Structure 1
Amino acid sequence: MGSRAIGLRAGHRRRATGALVTAACVAGLSCVAAPPAVADDGNVPLQSGECKFGTSDIKETPWSLQRLINSQMWAGGNKGGGIRVAVIDTGVDAGNKQLQDAIEGPGKSYVNGKPTQDKVGHGTKVAGIIAARPRVGSGFYGLAPEAKVLPFQQTSDEQAGTADTLATAIDDAVAAKVDIINISQGTAASESLLPKLKAAVKRAQDAGILIVASAGNSGASGAEKNIYPAAFSDEFDNVMAVAASDRNNERAAFSQPGPFVGIAAPGVDMVSTVPLGGNCVDQGTSFSAPYATGAAALLMAKHKSDKEKWGPQQIIWHLEQTADRVRRGRDNNIGWGVVNPMAALNDDTRPTAAPTPDKFKGVADGSTILPAVATLGETTEQRRARIAIYIVGGGLLAVAAVVGSSVALRDWRRKTGLTSHGEAEHG
């Protein structure tokens, strides 16, 4: 079968998954763990056509990695070694060579699938942003390329996940004693309908496990609403809610704003790994979360020997405090700013409290800038400048007149026989 046919078939499969998930969402609680295929519908066109599985590598380094300096980010050889990350998603495909060494164990599935096979592609992209190994011919790599990924497949191309399966996956990840759980899924269902999910998040908190959750992609209107489990960040100190930012460090148009947002990370035109090999481009908060997870893995690896002092709360506070800020403090669009792995790793100060706004420096967020007063005709400054020119010009003319008069007087005296001593010469 030709590559075009394979691509079209993969596209039909993804659209079918989206239809299945949408139907489940309409039903209500059965889709509380909204599958990412709907949230991140449609890949950004790459090269000659639709992103397909088993494609070529992208040679160029993506913009989200160009902003990093690896020598600083991986200073001391820290590339996330020893950190284990649970990826609760659509599986992590072992057919991509950049991920083969990153996957730990067979994983676990709650949808009658194989965790190391990903027919949707979403989980494989998520895992790649966290821990893809560098590969000759590809400009893409994960932020923590020595971390390990444990796949927990709770959504597939044929079955949508639920709040209960998400809760079960969290509990299994806790039992596996992972360090971080990445959840690039969410639901807008009321918190009162999510008791099992909330209880599972609480157990992860008690176990000292960091949960990094995407804020959601329903923010096109700008309206605020809670997306869970990300919105549990207001209640549990181990949950970091991640929004998507663009190249200007502002909220991506699709990113869900809300009071629960703690930080942002690149989420537009994100390159990552796909099933069966190769790289493709996609966008969504689903890919912002693993970017933040990769940064957290590096920070956690650096302070692993002092885990009691650098628990999930300290990791979150530190990433938020060292984030690149567009404004002095946090807002509901990008939280405290855009995660900056290098700044976080270069600062060894252990946080003891929540982040604080930057100190006021006179301009800050632009609120103190006053508009210029509109004037018609000549302004005061222009009038003063004109008068000054007149004075200087007049002075120069006066000097010229005096000098000219002196020269003329001298010449006249010479012609009339007057000496410079005032004595007449007689002929």
Structure 2
Amino acid sequence: MINASNLFSLRQTAAALAVASLVLSFGASAQAAQPGEFARGRILIEARAGLSDAELDDLVKAHGGKRRKVGQSRMQIVDLPPGLSEEDVVAKLARRPELKFAELDRKVTVAMAVNDPYIGSAWHIGKIGAPTAWDSTQGSGITIAVLDTGVNVAHPDLKDRIVPGFNVQDNNTDTSDLCGHGTAVAGTAAASTNNALGVAGIAGAAKIMPIRIVFKDAAGACQAYFSTIASGITYAADHGARVANVSFVGIAGSSAVKSASNYMKSKGGLVFISAGNNNVDENVVPDTAFIIVSSTDSYDAKSSFSSWGSFVSLAAPGTGIWTTNNALGYSAWNGTSFASPVAAGVAGLMMASRPDLSSAQVESLLFKTAVDLGAAGRDPVFGYGRVNAAAAVSAARAFVSTVDTTAPTASIAAPLGSSTVSGSVPVSVNALDNVGVARVELKVNGTVVATDSAAPYSFSWNSAGSPNGMAALVAVAYDAAGNAGASSTVSVNVANVTTSVPSDTIAPSVNITNPVAGAVNGTVAVSVSATDNAGAAGIRTSLSIDGVLKASGSGGSLSYSWNTKKERAGTHTVSVTARDAAGNASTKSVAVTVN
């Protein structure tokens, strides 16, 4: 058991002697990105489940674009040739039924108010009941990804917490801190506890995964883009982080950031985002993809700088937060930049105390145990309330999972029954569950052709993979407990132009759309597409992992949900074989690493 009083007395004395005169200049010099600023020459899109790489290539090539896949997700960064209007391309692609979204790659900045040179006490630790929570857990076994300006891994209060990260902006492993902000955020979340140095992070035994998402502009300020943030979240999810913190403003409305956050949530993780420091209603539509955190002061009042709005999920201390800095010392900082990692650290404590809890369960308990401030219930200033580490960890430890026997419900909203279809067909599915929908599979004539793990559940079905005539579409929704609910069958008339091939000696072309070579984590949606000169309707595909058959079906698409948690850590080979009606066959394989 930790003696919190003695611990903080030691830490405060040591820090005060070391850095009493330290004043950082970053907060005053940082310039906020203007609302209209976006990256030139690139945009962001996400394909609907089931769209093949070839079909996606055709979409982006029509605009002279070249796509880059973001990790193991379906999101894509599209590089455009010079001279094209990014706004025009986005407007055109946003209307394509094969895509979930298309958006500009907007520039954003860190959510920090000017830092306070006063070395105050770590008041926020006691305010949220962290010492009581530490009697049960300090975050061991959990990795918190810090998506920021980098982290100074040489800091004595952070060096033992670091695991390998990545520099998304420069596509390398240099995660050193460009502007100092990331080091302060990292220390707030997980500076080492009980080491007789400096400060204590909320989850001081958790690991920190530094992910640098910024560049320095001409004025010396650190800026990021939607694309680097979404890529960083996806990287964190693919590499085993359970918590990600993004202390940047203006990102809660980004479709790309929402998609990446939902992707991490599907892996059992949670993403925390700062509300902003504009002291206004940000007027952003709330979303369940991430947890938006506003800032409170030592009196449990809204911090003077904190933004608010219906999108706020939670509040946490963000005024005068004593934490690590890039000069290897300590100082107090203000901003929702620091409220967000306080809340993220509490989630890390909960996950460490009960690793079996799902992200939805952790989130629910985090909200239920918050100290209700302001108007009763959820309100635009404090969300569900100010985070309470002691109550949250206690609730997590005491949580008894009830056996969930209620199956989800699913219905196909489009296409309509008896309609005639051809080519790529957009399929929309409505799915609901008493706890939460984990994924939705689309079956065509009994074969799973695509899987979607985030609402709105939508697919792009290549009807050329089915013979002309009536095809049966069924959507199956699954919850985390494995309960499944199937929709009613929707029968449609497939009417594609066919050509005869008198003598077929050409093997089908087959491709594994997902995963790509690299790290995988949690449940992986394995997606396969195949084409043939005689038509995809005659193709039979079989999917194997390490030589063991996992799924098979007919047509040009095949999907399989692979639970990598049941696999040994290390390299695994995913292989698919496509065979046409004439017996010609081809095989494609990809090697992935399970964390």
User: TM-score normalised to the size of structure 2?
Assistant: 0.49
1:4-35 per-position Cα deviation (integer Å, ceiling 9, x unaligned): 9x989x63x6655x24x53x545346773522
Question: 306, 311, 329: which is aligned to 2:358?
Answer: 311
The one-letter amino acid paired with 2:161 is: A
Cα gap change, 1:281 to 1:250, in 2 (>3 Å): same
For the residue of structure 2 that corresponds to 1:160, the secondary structure is strand
1:4-403 matched pairs, under 5 angstroms: 11=25, 18-19=30-31, 21-22=32-33, 25-28=35-38, 32=106, 34-36=108-110, 39-46=111-118, 61-67=121-127, 71-76=131-136, 78-111=137-170, 115-134=174-193, 138=197, 140-158=199-217, 160-187=223-250, 191=253, 194-219=254-279, 222-226=280-284, 234-236=287-289, 239-304=290-355, 306=356, 310-326=357-373, 327-347=375-395, 348-349=398-399
Q: Deviations over 1:305-349 (max 9, x none)?
A: x2xxx2122111111111112343121000111101001122223
Alpha carbons of 1:71 and 1:187: their partners in 2 closer, same or farther (altered >3 Å)? Answer: closer
**TM-aligned CA deviation for residue 69 of structure 1:** 5.0
User: Closer, same or farther in 2 for the Cα pair 1:174/1:331, shift >3 Å?
Assistant: same
Higher helix residue share: 1
Native 8 Å contact 2:367 2:385 kept in 1: yes
Larger Rg: 1
Counterpart-to-counterpart distance in 2, 1:198 and 1:346: 30
Number of corresponding residues? 315
Deviation of the 1:67 alpha carbon = 2.6
C-alpha offsets along residues 348-404 of structure 1, whole Å, 9 cap, x if unaligned?
Answer: 2358889xxxxxxxxxxxxxxxxxxxxxxxxxxxxxxxxxxxxxxxxxxxxxxxxxx
Residue 72 of structure 1: CA displacement? 2.0
Q: Secondary structure at the match of 1:161?
A: strand
Distance of aligned partners of 1:283 and 1:114 in 2 relative to their CA distance in 1, 3 Å threshold? farther
Change in Cα spacing, 1:280 to 1:311, as seen in structure 2 (3 Å) is same
1:84 & 1:149 partners in 2: Cα distance?
A: 6
Contact 1:218 1:255 in 2 (8 A): yes
Q: Which residue of 2 aligns with 1:411?
A: none
Change (3 A) 1:70 1:325: closer
8 Å contact kept, 2:122–2:322: yes
- In 2, the alpha carbon distance for the partners of 1:143 and 1:7 equals 23
In the alignment, structure 1 segments of 5+ residues that lack a partner are 47-57, 355-427
Give secondary structure in 2 for the equivalent of 1:264: strand
CA contact (8 A) 1:113 1:153 kept: no
SS at match of 1:127: helix
Structure ranking higher in strand proportion? 2
Give the Cα–Cα distance (whole angstroms) in 2 for the partners of residues 123 and 113 of structure 1: 17
The structure-2 alpha-carbon separation of the partners of 1:140 and 1:351, relative to structure 1 and needing over 3 Å to count, comes to: farther
Tell me how far apart the structure 1 counterparts of residues 261 and 129 of structure 2 sit (CA, whole Å). Answer: 34
8 A contact 2:129–2:388 mirrored in 1: no
Aligned counterparts of 2:251 and 2:212: Cα–Cα separation in 1 = 21
> Quick one: which amino acid aligns to residue 132 of structure 2?
Q
- 1:71 CA drift (Å): 5.0
Identity value in percent: 29
Distance 1:264 1:150, change over 3 A: same
Higher relative contact order (CA 8 A, sep 6+): 1
Q: Taking structure 1 as reference, are residues 97 and 163 closer, same or farther at Cα in structure 2, changes over 3 Å only?
A: same
Give yes or no for contact 2:157–2:198 (8 Å, CA) kept in 1: no
1:323 touches 1:336 (CA, 8 Å); kept in 2?
Answer: yes
Amino acid at match of 1:301: A
Q: Is the 8 A contact 1:268 1:284 kept in 2?
A: yes
Indicate how the Cα distance of structure 1 residues 136 and 337 shifts in structure 2: closer, same or farther if over 3 A, else same. Answer: same
In the TM superposition, residue 206 of structure 1 has moved relative to its aligned partner by: 2.3
Q: 1:262 to 1:196 in 2, by over 3 A?
A: closer
Per-residue CA deviation, residues 77-110 of structure 1 (Å, 9 max, x unaligned), is x210000111111001112110001110153341
Residue 137 of structure 1: how far off its partner (Å): 6.1
User: Post-superposition shift, 1:182?
Assistant: 0.8
The answer as to whether partners of 2:113 and 2:305 remain within 8 angstroms in 1 is: no
**TM-superposed deviation, 1:285:** 0.8
Change (3 A) 1:251 1:290: same
Counterpart code for 1:302? S
SS across alignment from 1:331: coil
The answer (yes or no) to whether the contact 1:29–1:163 under 8 Å persists in 2 is no
Take 1:213 and 1:126, find their aligned partners in 2: how far apart are those partners? 12
Change (3 A) 1:343 1:164: same
Task: Judge which range, 310-319 or 279-288, deviates more.
Answer: 310-319
Name structure 2 gaps, 5 residues minimum: 1-18, 41-104, 403-433, 436-595
Q: Which residue of 2 aligns with 1:407?
A: none
For residues 315 and 28 of structure 2, the distance between their equivalents in structure 1, rounded to whole angstroms, comes to 28
Distance verdict in 2 for CA 1:350–1:285, change over 3 Å: farther
Q: TM-score normalised to the size of structure 1? A: 0.66
SS of 2:292's partner is strand
Looking at structure 2, the residues matched to 185 and 106 of structure 1 have their Cα atoms a distance apart, in angstroms, of: 19
After superposition, the Cα gap between the structure-2 partners of 1:156 and 1:325, relative to the gap in structure 1 and judged at 3 Å, is same
Deviates more, 1:311-320 or 1:266-275: 311-320
Mapped partners of 2:371, 2:275: distance in 1: 18
